[in-house]
Amino acid sequence: MAVGGRYAGKVVLVTGGGRGIGAGIVRAFESGSQALVQELPGTVFMPCDVTREEEVGALIADTLHRFGHLDCVVNNAGYHPPPQWPEETSAQSFRQLLELNLLATYTLTKLALPHLRKSQGNVINISSLVGAIGQGQAAPYVATKGAVTAMTKALALDESQYGVRVNCISPGNIWTPLWEELAASTPDPEATIQEGTMAQPLGRMGQPAEVGAAALFLASEASFCTGLELLVTGGAELGYGCKASHRTPVG
């Protein structure tokens, strides 16, 4: 999309921009409009399976054909599976999650870098707070997001010589359709939502628009920031909490 407002004249490619956090990011770059198609005249939505390198290459080529240059890539497309104990997971499902959450980020970034170097642009990866602090019944997801954060820092070192900044945003509990779907898959959705709400000292979940504002800041104003992990969490990682349940001694 061609951007207005604080990042005027720039071209930003956002994956997974149709809903949730991705939609919040698109709106933020388009000066806070509340629609995604009718009211965002600078935005073009293009279908792409980000796990297929040939489709990602075509996406970049189409973007350059339409707009002539590329200034920012936001790797947002991803998925959080429902809660699963380790023995309920499979190597195949783990591989599929790696393809989407990690390798797609790598592929799009790799293919976009020659163009970002020309514009001295930047990359923003959407990671997760749980990549740093862990999460129960989510080992594959946590592993993919921890890897995204680590890769961000490595790429920041490699690309600094070209003036390309690479940062990531690690959201906590953001109220999105995916969060709602995950809650609905639990035995008591209302209790799950309440638990997610009270995990933050601020006493609420975040909104996609708040992640969008963080992305716009990193792209437009954080000119001396690279390799940064920006936590958008409402303080969920702060302080002590009840981590253990009652355990009956064995033997």
Task: Tell me, rounded to whole angstroms, the distance of Cα 226 from its chain centroid.
Answer: 16
* 79 given a catalytic annotation: no
What DSSP letter does each residue of 26-48 carry, written as one string? HHHHTTT-S-SSTT-TT------
How many whole angstroms separate alpha carbon 114 and alpha carbon 69?
Answer: 11
Contact between 21 and 234 (Cβ < 8 Å): no
How many whole angstroms separate alpha carbon 112 and alpha carbon 170?
Answer: 22
How many whole angstroms separate alpha carbon 144 and alpha carbon 103?
Answer: 9
Contacts for 72 with CB less than 8 Å, ≥ 6 apart: 7, 10, 11, 12, 13, 116, 121, 122, 123, 124, 219
Sequence letter at residue 14 = V
Contacts for 227 with CB less than 8 Å, ≥ 6 apart: 152, 153, 156, 157, 166, 167
How many whole angstroms separate alpha carbon 179 and alpha carbon 176?
Answer: 5
Say which of 7, 106, 141, 162 is annotated catalytic.
141
How many whole angstroms separate alpha carbon 227 and alpha carbon 103?
Answer: 19
Long-range contacts of 130-136 (CB under 8 A, 24+ apart): 131/170, 132/170, 132/229, 132/237, 133/237, 136/83
Q: Give the catalytic positions in this structure.
A: 141
